[in-house]
Amino acid sequence: MSLREVFEQNPERRYIMFGGKGGLGKTTFSAATAYWLAKQGYKVLVFSVDPQASLSDIFQQDIFGKGPVEIIPNLFAQEIDADRRIREYQEEIRQKIRDMYGMEEIPQEIEDYIQAAAAEPAMEE
């Protein structure tokens, strides 16, 4: 069954995810599928958390960390700066702790936990 047939048989499909180990062509296939769907009239967002910025290369535009960028009508691409987002999230957690417990400084053992949580496998995703 072709990908076209999958979409024709499931027109209500809203999300498509491509996964697998590095080097298989996930980003290339995602970009090509998104482009095809946009040309069919679907409004599409293709995004990546890969720090390699491959979507920028594919679409020949710097889109890294800029939010959704329109590539062609109906097609938006986004490369999420996962490192920046993790740092922002860590700061949100610190602020919640400060507010909740009336602290000005985060104790080192709590800070160590906040830092360790960012090192968890798949945290970027």
How much of the chain exceeds pLDDT 70, in percent? 94
pLDDT tens-digit map of 87-119: 999 999 999 999 999 999 999 999 998 988 877
Tell me what the mean pLDDT of segment 40-53 comes to. Answer: 87
Higher pLDDT, 11 or 70: 70
Rg (C-alpha) for the chain, rounded Å, is 19
Instruction: Please state, in angstroms and rounded to a whole number, the distance separating the CA atoms of residues 100 and 69.
Output: 37
What pairing do the DSSP bridges indicate for beta strands 75-79 and 44-48? parallel
What does the pLDDT look like over 31-42, one tens digit per residue? Answer: 999 999 999 999
Instruction: Count CB atoms within 10 A of the CB of residue 27.
Output: 19
Alpha-carbon distance values, 115 to 76, 100, 121 (Å): 33, 19, 13
The mean pLDDT value of the chain amounts to 89
Q: How confident is the model at residue 69 (pLDDT cuts 50, 70, 90)?
A: very high
Comparing 69 with 86, which gets the higher pLDDT? 69
DSSP 84-119: HHHHHHHHHHHHHHHHHHT-SS--HHHHHHHHHHTT
Q: What are phi and psi of 69, to 5 degrees?
A: -120, 130
User: What are the backbone angles phi and psi of residue 62, rounded to the nearest 5°?
Assistant: -80, 105
